[in-house]
Amino acid sequence: MGRGDDLRWAGRAGAELYNVIDDEKLDEADRLAVVEQIAVLSEPVDEVSDEDRVRAGKRVKSLAPKVWEAALPILQSLLTAKAKQELGLPL
């Protein structure tokens, strides 16, 4: 899988997230975990539970706070109201 393939869903914003991920200076395991958790957050509503989304959001926030902040504009449109509430985001 190429550098752009795992965040393809996010388009240009996904490419920008890579810059933020690189700025976080994550080791390869944490980097992969962050990308995987963002993918969970971006899944269609009927494919991932709110609990899984909240867990993924908390993991991204703890591993890579700058990535979380950079991803928020994208995620705001993808998360359900319940997930937003549990992650402390505006509804």
**Within-domain flag for 20:** yes
Q: In terms of Cα–Cα distance, which of 37, 74, 76, 78 is closest to 57? A: 37
Percent of the chain with pLDDT over 90: 26
| Residue listed under structure tokens 């700025």 | 23
What does the pLDDT read at residue 13? 56
What does the pLDDT read at residue 5? 47
Is the pLDDT at 12 greater than 70, yes or no?
A: no
Neighbours of 42 (CB within 10 A): 20
Mean pLDDT of 30-53: 87
- Which range marks the domain in which residue 28 is found? 5-85
**Within-domain flag for 91:** no
Element (DSSP H or E) covering residue 77: none
pTM of the prediction? 0.77
Mean pLDDT of 67-91: 84
Is the pLDDT at 3 greater than 50, yes or no?
A: no
**Within-domain flag for 73:** yes
**Within-domain flag for 90:** no
Percent of the chain with pLDDT over 70: 82
Domain count for the chain, please give it: 1
> How many Å apart are CA 77 and CA 27, to the nearest integer?
29
Q: Are 83 and 54 in contact (CB under 8 A)?
A: yes
Q: What angle do CA 34, 68, 73 make, to 5 degrees?
A: 125
